[in-house]
Structure 1
Amino acid sequence: MADKLRLMTVHAHPDDESSKGAATTARYAAEGHEVMVVTCTGGEAGSILNPAMERPEIVANLPEVRRQEMARAAEILGVQHRWLGFVDSGLPEGDPPPPLPEGVFATVPLEESTRELVRAVREFRPHVVITYDENGGYPHPDHIRCHEVSVAAFDAAGDPDLYQGTGEPWQPLKLYYSHGFSRKRMQLFHESLLAEGKESPWTDWLKRWDEQQRPDPDDRVTTRVPCGDYFEKRDDALRAHATQIDPTSRWFAVSCEAQRQLWPTEDYELVRSLVDTTLPEDDLFDGVQEKVCA
């Protein structure tokens, strides 16, 4: 195997790491690389989305339950895990939406949250960092803040004049945005289910997508990582978040085997690179090995 490299993926809430890029992280961990998932918040404001977990003892202790779920998911994926320590902002509802509470992740000053991620970067020393795009993948305030913090930390971690007292400077070499929810992928799975005479859970999603004339993030993809052999691990990690994932939900409508045939990759956009690489890529570490060993 090539020299061990390090990958850090930064997420807003526990379960995001399992629904966005989990097969990728499982693959790189299985290949012997070091992988760290950073979770910015504890998911304290989340609802219970699996009716089977709607029990008094779960409701009363949801923050701790979600921490336990995250630990199980990390173990399944074979990755290291770190809490950044901020409070879930929740998803405000209303027109207009109400203001966010003080002290939650999305309202903490950017410099404060960036400092904690810079600390994590300088300790783990990743060669590659993954986060969300400027829309957060979807416009949850914590996802958007996760993007902002990740980009700021990528740019700051290597600067010895910034965030002094958080460790020795370390400059990651590549920054990616994760693009898991593409219209093309959803359409492909939708048509596959209909061809089998099954009901598709994506009918309404596709209709809304077209009505809103949303761009397809797949058009931005530069890097497709083959990871179909790890789809089962991805799904097991998702199920570990039992308060958030109903095992009968759309996440599991298309079998892993069918997914391997239809769309065997997880997809990313390279947005910063300090190494030479040729697009399109099929490996997040393209160009990194050569730089590290030079």
Structure 2
Amino acid sequence: MTLRLIAVHAHPDDESSKGAATYAHYVDAGAEVLIVSCTGGERGDLLNELVGRDPMSRRDLAGLRRNEMERARDIVGFRHTWLGYQDSGLPDEGESVTETSFANVPVDVSAEVLVRVVREFRPHVMITYNEQGGYPHPDHIRCHEISRRAWELSGDPEAYPDAGEPWEISKLYYEEIFNAKRVNTIYQWLMDNDPNSPIIEQFLEIREWMTRRPYSGTASVNVGRFFDKRDDALRAHASQVSPDSSFFFWPNELQREAWPFEDYRLAASRVETAEFEADLFEGIEESA
């Protein structure tokens, strides 16, 4: 049986910053992995000065981000599809998103599009964001909402009857990769083994921010040997990631020693599971 995993993300680059090592791990193990990008990322910020010199970044940012997504796909080896919605951007407090953007499309409408993808791909595991969207971006929250709806209804023959043959997903996970336990563990490893490291100051700042993201994971997948591939995929999204980002790019040898995992929370399951898991497909082959 070929195992299949679908991960639903709001924008291109989210798949590389939130799970690329996991996707590479499962592709390497022979599973099929499909990444869904709900929007084109066309309202995201341009975070790389060098890319900003490229006329395409001003003329066709959406096209540039499609090209970047293709490079990330080829690096990791997953399959990819777009839902085709417009990026909602991150409006200032009190402002609303544009009328035609993803966050303004009714959940039932977008969920049907995702259900169609699910029924065609027939995944055993779905990964998406938690109830807060991972962070409160309107597209991330809508991504959670339509993913949860697809989990609930993709196997129901009466729901969206024109969207393909019903398919019931076995397990639903929320990504919990950026969490306080991970940062605290890496920080403590540095203090114990390399207290004069120049990156300790960076971790002090990140630790303060991460205290607002307490650890709620129920699955840690050991994917340390794919961290370099993850970083290469993230750098492929050059318009959205500063090449010297201290938030994303920590020394991989340090991470492999202290925390070689990407973390997830089991949100729902239709198969028996352990209290804590090291494999997102745990329990699925036994139930087949």
Category of TM-score, reference length = shorter chain: over 0.9
1:19-69 per-residue CA deviation (whole Å, 9 max, x = no partner) reads 001100100011111000000000010111111111233221110010010
Tell me the TM-score normalised to structure 2 length: 0.94
Separation of aligned partners in 1, 2:186 and 2:249: 9
| Amino acid paired to 1:33 | A
Q: SS state of the match for residue 127, structure 2?
A: strand
1:229 to 214, 225, 232: 225
Matches within 5 A, 1:80-229: 80-93=79-92, 96-191=93-188, 192=190, 195-199=195-199, 200-209=201-210, 214-216=212-214, 218=215, 220-229=216-225
Q: Distance in 2 between matches of 1:76 and 1:215?
A: 29
Measure, in 2, the Cα distance between the counterparts of 1:262 and 1:170. Answer: 39
Matched with 2:23 is: 25
Deviation of the 1:99 alpha carbon = 1.2
Q: Secondary structure at the match of 2:174?
A: strand
Task: In structure 2, give the amino acid aligned to 1:146.
Answer: C
2:47 maps to which of 43, 46, 49? 49
Give the TM-score normalised by structure 1. Answer: 0.92
Q: Is the 8 A contact 2:178 2:210 kept in 1?
A: no
Deviation, 1:196, is 3.5
What is the aligned length?
Answer: 283
Return the alpha-carbon distance in structure 1 between the equivalents of residues 31 and 276 of structure 2.
22
Instruction: Identify the residue that residue 70 of structure 2 maps to in structure 1.
Output: 71
- CA deviation string 1:239-284 (max 9, x = no partner): 1000011111114542111111010111001111111121211000
CA-CA distance at 1:187 after TM superposition: 2.7
Letter paired with 1:283: D
Measured at CA, do residues 51 and 187 of structure 1 come closer, stay the same or move farther in structure 2, by a change above 3 Å?
Answer: farther
Partner residue, 1:16: 14
**Is 1:270 matched with 2:266?**
yes
Letter of the aligned partner of 1:268 in structure 2? Y
Q: Deviations over 1:150-197 (max 9, x none)?
A: 000010100000111111000000000000110122233345287243
Q: From the superposition, tell whether residues 120 and 47 of structure 1 become closer, same or farther in structure 2 (CA, over 3 Å).
A: same
How far the C-alpha of 1:208 sits from its partner, in A, is 4.5
Is 1:222–1:270's contact at 8 Å kept on the other side of the alignment? Answer: yes
Match for residue 288 of structure 1? 284
For structure 2, list consecutive stretches of 5 or more residues without a partner in the other structure: none
Q: Secondary structure at the match of 1:38?
A: strand
Alpha-carbon distance in 2 for matches of 1:6, 1:207: 37
Q: For the Cα contact (< 8 Å) 2:35–2:79, is it kept in 1?
A: yes
Secondary structure (helix, strand or coil) at the match of 1:250 reads coil
Q: Choose the corresponding residue for 1:249, options 238, 245, 259.
A: 245
Indicate the percent of aligned positions where both proteins have the same amino acid: 49
Distance 1:130 1:208 in 2: 24
SS at match of 1:158: coil
